């Protein structure tokens, strides 16, 4: 089993879970009036904008979990010889660019960048070292 991919998958899943839970608690709770989907954007955002912001927020989590599933699949002995390098490289680039975006967007104050960077590093090492 490739422990680098396994660890990267677990970390990716955890990042997605924390992302959605904290987003709901710290951001969307304030924009919600007894409805599942928030609709209150104050004077700055109209209802459609708040709705798509909420959907996009959770879409990031779903996509992250899909990457986690891919990383878990890559740990299986049966998948070891079936994983094209482009798949691993795509995961690495996705996580690296995501890390840079979070770092730049928050001036390094949001720790999400470190988790995403760790996934990129673990996946890179796992490609060459993990069996």
The 3-state secondary structure of 93-116 reads HHHHHHHHHHHHHHCCCCCHHHHH
Among candidates 63, 53, 48, which has minimal Cα distance to 27? 53
Ranges of residues in the chain whose predicted pLDDT is under 70:
130-131
* pLDDT value of position 6: 95
Q: Enumerate helices (H) and strands (E) in the chain, giving the number of each.
A: 4, 0
* Angle in degrees, CA 109, 120, 95, rounded to 5: 65
CA separation for the pair 110, 62 (Å, rounded): 20
* pLDDT value of position 105: 96
* pLDDT value of position 74: 92
Model pTM score? 0.89
- For residue 53, give every residue at least 6 positions away whose Cβ sits within 8 Å of its Cβ, in sequence order, or none: 45
* pLDDT value of position 131: 56
* pLDDT value of position 53: 93
* pLDDT value of position 129: 81
If you search the block for the tokens 């996705």, which residue do you land on? 94
CA separation for the pair 37, 20 (Å, rounded): 13
* pLDDT value of position 31: 87
* pLDDT value of position 130: 64
* pLDDT value of position 72: 95
């Amino acid at each position: 089993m490739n422990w680098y991919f396994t660890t990267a998958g677990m970390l990716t899943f955890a990042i997605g879970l924390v992302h959605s839970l904290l987003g709901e608690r710290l951001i969307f709770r304030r924009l919600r009036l007894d409805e599942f989907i928030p609709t209150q954007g104050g004077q700055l955002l109209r209802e459609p904008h708040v709705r798509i912001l909420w959907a996009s927020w959770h879409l990031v989590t779903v996509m992250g979990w899909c990457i986690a599933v891919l990383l878990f699949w890559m740990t299986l002995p049966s998948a070891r010889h079936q994983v094209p390098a482009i798949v691993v490289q795509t995961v690495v680039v996705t996580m690296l660019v995501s890390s840079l975006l979070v770092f730049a967007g928050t001036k390094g104050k949001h720790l999400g960048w470190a988790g995403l960077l760790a996934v990129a590093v673990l996946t890179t090492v796992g490609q060459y070292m993990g069996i």
